[in-house]
Amino acid sequence: MRPMLGLMQDVPLTLDTIFRHVEQHHGDVPIVTNGPGGPVRSTYAAWADRTRRLGGVLDTLGVSADGRVGTFAWNSQRHLELYYGVPCTGRVLHTLNIRLFPEQLTYVVNHGEDEVVFVDRTVLPLLWPLIDTMTTVRHVVVMDDGGTNEVPDDPRVRDYETLLAAAEPVAFGVVRDENTAASMCYTSGTTGNPKGVLYSHRSTVLHAMAVVSPNGFGIGVHDVAMPVVPMFHANAWGLAQAAPMAGAAMVFPGAMMQPQALADLIVAEGVTFTAGVPTIWQGMLPHLAGREHQLRKIGCGGSAVPAALSEAYREQVGLPIYQAWGMTETHPVASGGTLARRYDDADEATKAALRARQGVPLFGVQARIVTAGTTDELPWDDVATGELQVRGPWCAASYYEEPGTELTTEDGWMKTGDIAALDEFGSIRIADRTKDLIKSGGEWISSVDLENAIMAHPAVAEAAVVAVPNPTWGERPLACVVVKPGETLTEAQVLDHLRPLVASWWLPDAVEFIDEVPKTSVGKFSKKDLRSRFAEYPAKS
Ligand code: AMP
């Protein structure tokens, strides 16, 4: 028997619904972008007009109906124009991480088949030398963000403002199916090449509704929201959709990412909500401490938020840090640390310990822990640890064009590669990760790539690279090296050998010479043993 169906309208959840809402109801709300010449002021109304013209620019450039449009840019109003102008015309926004190395950048542009890349002038020198390796890119549109870098005299190079001034505004509404892809973001938080996560209009809208809700970031019409988390990494944690959806004013730091500049911007612009990785808040603490400000929530995630950092904010800035957990694969916000009513009367030490957890899944996401490699669920007793798996309408089902990469279990849960415990209410406590990676300042370093590079040295018998805690960066790589019998090697020689092979921020902070890399019963490197052996390793900076 057919079930009785509801009689409600079936209106698709597409990004142009957010665009239209903010255009119609919040046009007078300010948008501010910082720059070398000071803040540039605008409104959602002006932004909406430019965003519609951007649709016209994409037509002028001949970008295909579902063409991929790359962005290589800081957080700015222009980037927000791309966040809507691209998907609202049916194309797919591909945010390129400016911290990828050259080979990775070429790889993701070619894998995503980007037809055009919009690039901030300040970061043009990172992209332009690679342009001939990017086989599908036909145009590079330069957005002049006050950088002084020379713009190449090349027919492929176009100027954003010139194109926008000449373009006709377009009507949105071409996307009818909410499951159409809206944007893609590659993650290097896996082994091997970066993998593409392909967000749909529906998943983007649903995620933003969770982010905007009180247990999420809780953003409303009275807020001034400043995403410090980059718009080139993990969809800026949904803030580019959540703030416009709520009619909140937006403040963008542009390329002015120095701690002092960020703190001054927060104070001067009356920012009430902001979000970024722990390294950002660590650096900003001395610049915010004791100052008058309007902040009422600071979102933080991407790496564990140390209790000491959150407590220092509570004591010196007047509010603790709100911790969220998630992944590029979960849009990314999946859980958050709003404390339940049962803790209202708890003492500050208990609350600090609770805030150091990764929080409870936001409505829409389910979480479980299992014995790794199985679907056997473990108890929620805060003792048992197992692989964290999640499920929900904004969790990825698979990677873009990566056959053979298993992201989802046979019973439909997404494998996170994080090891966690859950307490009796399902609050997540991340304990470890199975991914052989190091997260430094919110970006990934592949220990396997570093090990292979070190082991290419003729005097090295074997090498393992592990994360050691660091107060500024969260984690930093430590190289544990076994020298071949009869050979000698110094730390300086290992680092000199690595320098031409890896990005400078990947260079291990130190090299420890050990007799043997500990092995598991099946002969694999036991990183766990090395991590606990060096858990107290003195931080370099
Ligand atoms: P990404 O896709 O680059 O955002 O990285 C996601 C990964 O970052 C997660 O799988 C975790 O390993 C780590 N991560 C994110 N948020 C947190 C957090 N609050 N605490 C600990 N680890 C986190």
CA dist 111 and 68 (Å) reads: 10
* Element at 30 (helix H, strand E): strand 30-33
Q: Which of 259, 232, 230 is nearest to 472 (CA)?
A: 259
Looking only at the bridges linking them, the beta strands covering 443-446 and 249-252 are unpaired
Q: What's the confidence (pLDDT) of residue 520?
A: 79
Rounded to the nearest angstrom, the distance between the alpha carbon of 301 and the centre of ligand 1 is: 7
Rounded to the nearest angstrom, the distance between the alpha carbon of 432 and the centre of ligand 1 is: 11
CB of 430 closer than 6 angstroms to any ligand 1 atom: yes
Residues 268-289 have a mean pLDDT of 97
Q: Which of the residue ranges 9-18, 130-139, 430-439, 481-490 would you say has the lowest mean pLDDT? A: 430-439
Annotation marks residue 23 as catalytic: no
Q: What's the confidence (pLDDT) of residue 106?
A: 98
Q: Is 481 helix (H, G, I), strand (E, B) or coil?
A: strand
Rounded to the nearest angstrom, the distance between the alpha carbon of 122 and the centre of ligand 1 is: 28
CB of 330 closer than 6 angstroms to any ligand 1 atom: no
Residues 54-68 have a mean pLDDT of 98
Q: Is 474 helix (H, G, I), strand (E, B) or coil?
A: strand
Q: Whose CA is nearest to atom 1 of ligand 1?
A: 327
Does 531 have pLDDT greater than 80?
yes
Rounded to the nearest angstrom, the distance between the alpha carbon of 337 and the centre of ligand 1 is: 14
Plot region of 146 (φ>0 → left; ψ -120 to 50 → alpha; else → beta): left
Q: Whose CA is nearest to atom 10 of ligand 1?
A: 327
Q: What's the confidence (pLDDT) of residue 529?
A: 87
- List, for residues 220-234, the tens digit of each pLDDT value: 999 999 999 999 999
Mean pLDDT of the chain: 95
State the pTM of this model: 0.94
Does 466 have pLDDT greater than 90?
yes
Annotation marks residue 424 as catalytic: no
Q: Is 192 helix (H, G, I), strand (E, B) or coil?
A: coil
Q: What's the confidence (pLDDT) of residue 539?
A: 79
CB of 234 closer than 6 angstroms to any ligand 1 atom: yes
Does 114 have pLDDT greater than 80?
yes
Does 521 have pLDDT greater than 80?
no
Which residue's entry shows tokens 């010479």?
513
Q: Whose CA is nearest to atom 9 of ligand 1?
A: 327
CA dist 441 and 189 (Å) reads: 13
Rounded to the nearest angstrom, the distance between the alpha carbon of 326 and the centre of ligand 1 is: 6
Annotation marks residue 187 as catalytic: yes
Contact 274, 226 (CB under 8 A): yes
Q: Which of the residue ranges 206-210, 316-320, 452-456 would you say has the lowest mean pLDDT? A: 452-456
Q: Which of 521, 33, 21, 536 is nearest to 269 (CA)?
A: 33
Which atom belonging to ligand 1 lies closest to the Cα atom of 324? 19
Residue 299: which residues within 8 A CB-CB, separation 6 or more? 217, 237, 273, 274, 275, 276, 321, 322, 324
Higher per-residue pLDDT: 101 or 341:
341
Contact 23, 16 (CB under 8 A): no
Residues 108-126 have a mean pLDDT of 98
Q: Place 526 in a pLDDT band, splitting at 50, 70 and 90.
A: confident
Both structure tokens of 204: 């983007």
Q: Which of 477, 488, 487 is nearest to 446 (CA)?
A: 477
Does 433 have pLDDT greater than 90?
no
Q: Place 541 in a pLDDT band, splitting at 50, 70 and 90.
A: low
Residues 519-539 have a mean pLDDT of 83
Annotation marks residue 444 as catalytic: yes
Ligand 1 pocket: which of 430, 440, 445, 473 to mutate (most atoms <8 Å of CB)?
Answer: 430
Q: What's the confidence (pLDDT) of residue 196?
A: 97
Contact 534, 466 (CB under 8 A): yes
Does 285 have pLDDT greater than 80?
yes
Does 190 have pLDDT greater than 90?
no
Residues 139-156 have a mean pLDDT of 96
Both structure tokens of 528: 């766990």
Q: What's the confidence (pLDDT) of residue 191?
A: 81
Q: Which of 435, 385, 438, 440 is nearest to 407 (CA)?
A: 435
CB of 325 closer than 6 angstroms to any ligand 1 atom: yes
CB of 237 closer than 6 angstroms to any ligand 1 atom: no
Ligand 1 pocket: which of 394, 418, 444, 445 to mutate (most atoms <8 Å of CB)?
Answer: 418
Rounded to the nearest angstrom, the distance between the alpha carbon of 271 and the centre of ligand 1 is: 25
CA dist 235 and 495 (Å) reads: 34
CB of 218 closer than 6 angstroms to any ligand 1 atom: no
Both structure tokens of 458: 């003729």
Residue type, 114: D
Q: What's the confidence (pLDDT) of residue 387?
A: 96
Q: Place 525 in a pLDDT band, splitting at 50, 70 and 90.
A: confident
Catalytic residue among 297, 351, 415, 439: 439
Q: What's the confidence (pLDDT) of residue 133?
A: 98
Question: Cα torsion for 111, 117, 118, 123, to the nearest 10°?
Answer: 80
Residues 204-216 have a mean pLDDT of 98
* Element at 198 (helix H, strand E): strand 195-200
User: Crossing angle, helix 201-212 and helix 15-25, to 10 degrees?
Assistant: 50
| Percent of the chain whose predicted confidence (pLDDT) is above 90 | 89
| Percent of the chain whose predicted confidence (pLDDT) is above 70 | 100
Residue 268: which residues within 8 A CB-CB, separation 6 or more? 39
CB of 57 closer than 6 angstroms to any ligand 1 atom: no
CA dist 325 and 338 (Å) reads: 12
DSSP assignment string, 49-61: HHHHHHHHHHHHT
Does 434 have pLDDT greater than 90?
no
Contact 272, 278 (CB under 8 A): no
